[in-house]
Amino acid sequence: MLKLIIARHAESQWNPIGRYQGLLDPDLTERGLNQAKALAKELRKEKIDVIFSSPLKRTWRTAEVIGKLIGVEPLKEERIIEIDHGKWSGLLVEEVKERFPEEFETWIKRPHEAVFEGGESLKEVYERVSQFLDFLKSEFEGKTVLAVSHTVPIRCMICYLLGVDLSKFWAFGCDNASYSVVLMEEGRNVLQKLNITCHLGDLYVEGHFAL
């Protein structure tokens, strides 16, 4: 069995204002840094053997805070980087709704069909995170692995692990500095915890519905 802990990065500078980040690289806010510290304290009880992180600043800094507390050096993993939002990158949700109304409707109502002009499709993200998860299962049997990622790859990971159609992408909560736990057993995966945020206390902020 492999115990997989999937954590979303702490609050970035663009999360509170609802701006699409994609591969752009804003840093954590002060609250985000405190969220990362709270997440690190929560995960200290786990005997984490390996930490993989998206290389973007918001994920990497979150992983560094956790790694420093538990004594594990994070490893950069491109396959769990955020989706490339293409022409949406850097725009506010309201700006996207105005400029790309049809594409936005597809993103919200039929995410499995979403293709971001100049960027990636959701199916492409699903493919790369599934390759990462297969890699973990083959290489880290008996270990506890932490993956620090973003909303889109995390929801795709949950869909893949549970065998849920990608059309159900929005069915899973994914708040800043939350974590989920999946036990990857022989022949099945068991979702033990989903979008846990109780460790954040007053630092909790609900995730934006369209991000």
Cβ contact 62:9 at 8 Å:
yes
Q: How far apart are CA 182 and CA 191, in angstroms?
A: 5
In this structure, are residues 176 and 199 in contact, taking their beta carbons and an 8 Å threshold? no
Nearest to 88, CA basis, from 69, 74, 106, 61:
106
Using CA atoms, how far apart are residues 209 and 211, in angstroms rounded to an integer?
A: 6
Instruction: Pick the catalytic residue from 9, 85, 112, 208.
Output: 9
In this structure, are residues 65 and 156 in contact, taking their beta carbons and an 8 Å threshold?
no
Which helix (H) or strand (E) element contains residue 101? helix 101-109
Q: Which three-class secondary structure state does DSSP give residue 197?
A: coil
Q: Is 112 among the catalytic positions?
A: no
9 labelled catalytic: yes
Whole-angstrom Cα distance, residue 83 to residue 49?
A: 27
Q: Of 173, 179, 147, which Cα lies nearest the Cα of 60?
A: 147
Residues that are catalytic = 9, 150
